[in-house]
Structure 1
Amino acid sequence: MYFKETGMKERGYKMLLSEYSIKEFVDQLAFKSPAPGGGSASALVGAIGTALVSMVSNLSYGKEKFKDKEGLLVEILEEARRTKESLINLIDKDAEAFNQVAGSLKMPHTTEEEEKLRSEAMEQALKEATLVPLSVMEESLKSLKLHERALGNTTSAAISDIGVGIQCLKAALYGGWLNVKINLNWIKDEDFVKDVEKKASSILEKGIRLADGLFKKVEEELEKK
């Protein structure tokens, strides 16, 4: 979750991943360490996609052409702010959850009691590591719905940015799904596995269908220009 020695100068305190510069985060992602990994990257991509719908809404707000849309634009901006902040927070939570799993693996397991404690700790850590990317999927779907509301109600000059935001969120959805699936493979609680897999599958299906439909509309609008 925190600063690792990668040639970057530490700033006097342990930094959250979300506090890194873009270059620092990308360098850290490339470092020989499993965290941060695809989960944190998915959360970041989702946050970027959400930021784009905010940008397009901000570009439209205050313009005479969208005077009657100001109430809607304010709603989009406020919901996008909350969603973006949640996704940024999930960048750190994903790495932290992975570190909890890694920590449980290092617990002693030479006796029966130690093995029991280690197994319980690992199960709990894996569940948390599964719920974080599930949250990334949930927040990404929320953001796609904001893009749906913005499309046609914001400046057409920035419609390509709506399209980029949609594709970012589609990537975040798939990234979250992959991280949910890989963690579920190691969890013994069958009820938990079934429940989470059902939720994640539903979010993925809805999200991808929405993303593809919206992106098609973006492409159609661009063809008219």
Structure 2
Amino acid sequence: MVDMRFLNNLASADPTPGGGGAAAYCGALAAALASMVGNLTVGKKTYAAVEHDVQAALVRLADLRARLIALIDEDARAFTPLAAAYRMPKDTPEQAAAKDDALQCALILACEIPLLIMENVALVVDEIDFLAHNGSKMARSDAGVAATFARAALEGASLNVFINVASMRDEARAQQYRSQAECLLSSVVPRCDELFAFVRCEVS
């Protein structure tokens, strides 16, 4: 049932998929688990009052899951020019300048993709929050697991932002990306922790 190709590729010496792709995959897992909570809620008389809202959440989660899966490949594609830039020679001043120019260009996408992963995971957390509080109590622990995966996805993707901005020559752009990542971490990670604590209290 488990498709081992992604895990085997992740475990290989090939640098892609790497940490960014794994973070996106964790986000997709969070979205999938949240969807499971929703699917175990719809059609139940006990939750008739939130049926419409749960159905809408399921549509959004399907879209977010697809986006995050697509970002696995996007992250790998973003790494290709970055890796190529690092391999360029720098024996002469002209080569060094060309290498730096290529590197600076590649670093932009290498930051923007993990930021997109973080932004999409933040939206997943909104759905987890709603479903943890309003979805089937029988699946509440799964909402807690979704929150832990979302937290891992956020923190994992942020590391790719931080490592890449450190090599940016454009300090204003670097600070913009750094601030975006830090803002997402500071606003969403505590929500993941609160959701986990809520679920832990409810199931204990």
1:47 and 1:61 map into 2 onto residues whose CA distance is 21
Residue 136 of structure 2: aligned partner: 155
1:77 is matched by which residue type in structure 2? Answer: L
- Secondary structure of the residue that 1:60 maps to in structure 2? coil
Partner of 2:84: 103
Measured after TM superposition, the shift of residue 43 of structure 1 is 0.5
Q: Distance in 2 between matches of 1:87 and 1:30?
A: 20
Give, as a single letter, the amino acid of the residue that structure 1 aligns with 2:127: L
Q: Which has the higher helix share?
A: 2
Offset at residue 102 of structure 1 (A): 1.0
**Alpha-carbon distance in 1 for matches of 2:91, 2:177:** 32
What is the Cα deviation at residue 118 of structure 1?
2.8
Match of 1:178 in 2: 159
User: Superposition pairs for residues 2-81 of structure 1, below 5 Å?
Assistant: 22-81=3-62
SS at match of 1:29: helix
1:207 corresponds in structure 2 to 188
Tell me the C-alpha RMSD between the 2 structures: 1.5
Written as runs of structure 1 = structure 2, the 5 A alignment for 1:78-157 is 78-107=59-88, 109=90, 112-157=93-138
Structure 1 partner of 2:149: 168
Name segments (4+ residues, structure 1) moved above 6 Å: none
Q: Normalising by structure 2, report the TM-score.
A: 0.94
Q: How far apart are 1:109 and its partner, in Å?
A: 4.7
Q: What is the TM-score when the length of structure 1 is the normalising length?
A: 0.85
Q: Distance in 2 between matches of 1:37 and 1:26?
A: 10
Flag structure 2 segments of 5+ consecutive residues without an equivalent. none
Could you tell me the percent identity over the aligned residues? 34
Aligned residues: 203
Distance 2:194 2:174 in 1: 30
Shift of 1:114: 4.4
- Report the Cα distance in structure 2 between the residues aligned to 1:204 and 1:124, rounded to whole angstroms: 25
Per-residue CA distance 1:19-77 (angstroms, 9 max, x = gap): xx731111111111222111110100110011111111011111111112111112211
The residue identity in structure 2 corresponding to 1:176 is A
